[in-house]
Amino acid sequence: MKKLAYLILGFIIGAVLTYYFCPRERSGAPDVIVRAPKDTISVTEAIKLSNNWAANNETEIDSLLEVEGSRKKTRSVSWSLDEINEYLTYAQAESDTLGYTMTGVRVYLGNYGKNAKPPRKNRNTMFIVPTGHKNVSKASIAPNFTVFKDEDIPAPPLNDGVGGSNGYPQ
């Protein structure tokens, strides 16, 4: 009879520990609906810009192309603090939705290519991409010594910063 009582007590303790230590899905809808900022571009467009940069960067560097009526080269790209904060909030929400843990951002160089509309034709640009790692199950009895390598998260990147023709500082 004593052995049966210990067995039942063991099952109860095991059930309580399982309840508290096993991961569960979050329930309910998010409290805040986060919309994509107006200047986000698709992942496909970002890849195209990056590929165009690799193919056309000598055009930008070695010649003086007209940019909106001037003959100055684009030397920098800037975004307002509000645009950056809005994008980071959006990227964090998108990363969570896609099953990633966002740990930072990466800035890529891109080029609009020869088929873009006149103000952007063959012009260089920069775009911001969220980085992080895919979420994995953390329920384990052994300690997790996994080292995560940050990768690009397939959320829409931020583009359309304001270009400057002067070097640093402006």
45 lies in some domain:
yes
49 lies in some domain:
yes
Burial class (CB in 10 A: 0-12, 13-18, 19+), 3: exposed
pLDDT at res. 100: 92
27 lies in some domain:
no
3-state secondary structure the chain: CHHHHHHHHHHHHHHHHHHHHCCCCCCCCCCCCCCCCCCECCHHHHHHHHHHHHHHHHHHHHCCCCECCECCCCCEEECCHHHHHHHHHHHHHHHHHHCEEEEEEEEEEEECCCCCCHHHCCCEEEEEEEEEEECCCCCCCCCCCCCCCCEECCCCCECCCEEECCCCCC
The number of domains in the chain is: 1
pLDDT at res. 108: 87
pLDDT at res. 166: 53
Please tell me whether the overall predicted TM-score, pTM, comes out greater than 0.85 for this model: no
Domain boundaries, position 117: 33-134+148-161
Contact partners, residue 109, CB within 8 Å, separation at least 6: 50, 53, 57, 124, 125, 126
Q: Alpha carbon of 17 to those of 4, 24, 63, 95, 143: distances in Å?
A: 20, 14, 68, 31, 17
pLDDT at res. 25: 67
The three-point CA angle 32-37-38 to 5° equals 140
**Cα 22 to Cα 137: distance, rounded to the nearest angstrom:** 10
6 lies in some domain:
no
126 lies in some domain:
yes
82 lies in some domain:
yes
- Nearest CA to 93 out of 24, 52, 34 is that of 34
64 lies in some domain:
yes
57 lies in some domain:
yes
pLDDT average per 10 residues of sequence, the chain (170 residues): 75 78 64 80 84 67 49 70 92 92 88 80 84 75 60 85 57
